[in-house]
Structure 1
Amino acid sequence: MENYNEKDNMSTLSQVMQTMAKRGITKEYRMNEQGEMKYEGSGNSYQPQDLSIIKSYRFEGDSNPDDNAVLYIITDKQGNIGMMIDSYGAESNYPGENFDNFVREIPITESDEF
């Protein structure tokens, strides 16, 4: 059964992250300075085809375009589920085009579960 109060409280990045933490999703996928995508706490490096975006949440700042962000819920072939956060617009969390190109190549298999 869906918890509608939980869905109502998912309008900000921090609220969605708190909800994901309650569901056991606390680790992040991050691209390091060498352009390798890593899952927090593991030594695994991933290629886009090793991952799948199962949900994305976009957030826009009310008055400041620098507050724009996207939160991806991602799973890998080993069944790990984690978050990946990126600012978008004028500033990104990741310099250059490596990150953007990498994310564009990740298959999307949206799930209503998240």
Structure 2
Amino acid sequence: MNDNNYDTLSEALNDLKKRGYTEDFNLKGDCIACPSLQLELRPEEFEVDEVHRFEGMSYPGDNSVVYAISSRDRAIKGVLTDAYGAYAEAITPEMAQKLRA
């Protein structure tokens, strides 16, 4: 799922954007939302194409993960960034299974 090795979160985001992951998704409890398209995708409506984790050097709150996500029909591609570990967002079991698998 992860063929690229990135040193920084910004490097990952820039490369993913160049590769067509242009939308920004926000994590909600039971879906991901794309405000620019006024769209919400439930777990069964999207695929996680890549996952990249980054650890903060000195503060655990800096731990983050970026997901490269596409809609089932691959018409919409974007990124979702989140913290992981103790600082991760509270989400439904279905969303957790989709994102944490």
**What TM-score do you get using the length of structure 2 for normalisation?**
0.76
Greater relative CO (CA pairs within 8 A, separation 6+): 2
* Counterpart code for 1:88: Y
Q: Please tell me whether residue 11 in structure 1 is matched to residue 7 in structure 2.
A: yes
Shift, 1:23, TM fit? 2.1
Shift, 1:37, TM fit? 2.4
Match of 1:55 in 2: 50
Matches within 5 A, 1:6-85: 10-32=6-28, 36-79=31-74, 80-85=76-81
Contact 2:27 / 2:80 at 8 angstroms: preserved in 1? no
Give distance in 1, aligned partners of 2:17 and 2:23. 9
Match of 2:98 in 1: 106
Structure with more of its chain in strand, by fraction: 2
SS in 2 for 1:74: strand
Q: What CA deviation, in whole Å up to 9, does each residue of 1:24-83 have, x standing for no partner? A: 322112135x85521242122221010110100011112211110010001112321110
Consecutive unaligned residues of structure 2, counting only runs of 5 or more, are none
Consecutive unaligned residues of structure 1, counting only runs of 5 or more, are 1-6, 109-114
- Structure showing greater Rg: 1
Q: Which runs of 4+ in 1 moved over 6 A?
A: none
Cα RMSD for the two superposed structures: 2.5
Shift, 1:107, TM fit? 7.5
**Alignment: residue pair count:** 96
From the superposition, tell whether residues 40 and 102 of structure 1 become closer, same or farther in structure 2 (CA, over 3 Å): farther
Structure with more of its chain in helix, by fraction: 2
Percent identity (aligned): 25
**What TM-score do you get using the length of structure 1 for normalisation?**
0.68
